[in-house]
Chain A
Amino acid sequence: MSAVSLAMSQSLVDVGAIDDVPQRGARCVKKGDRTIAIFRTQDDQFFALEDKCPHKNGPLSQGIVHDGCVTCPLHNWVISLSSGQAQGADEGETRTFTVEVRDGRLLLDLEEMA
Chain B
Amino acid sequence: MKILVCLKQVPHKDARLEASGGWIDEGGIKFEINQYDTYALEEALRIKDAGEAEVVVATIGPDRTSQALRTALGMGADRAIQIWDDSLSGADSLTIAKLLAAAAKDESFDLVLMGLMSDDANNSLTGPMLAELLGLPHTTGAMKIELSDGKAQVERELEGGSLQVVDLPLPCLITVQTGLNEVRYASLKGIMQAKKKPLDKKGISDLGLDAAAVASKVTVDKLYVPTKGEGAEILEGSAGEVAQQLVGKIKELGLL
Q: Do A and B bind each other?
A: no
Residues of B within 8 A of A (CB): none
Residues of A within 8 A of B (CB): none
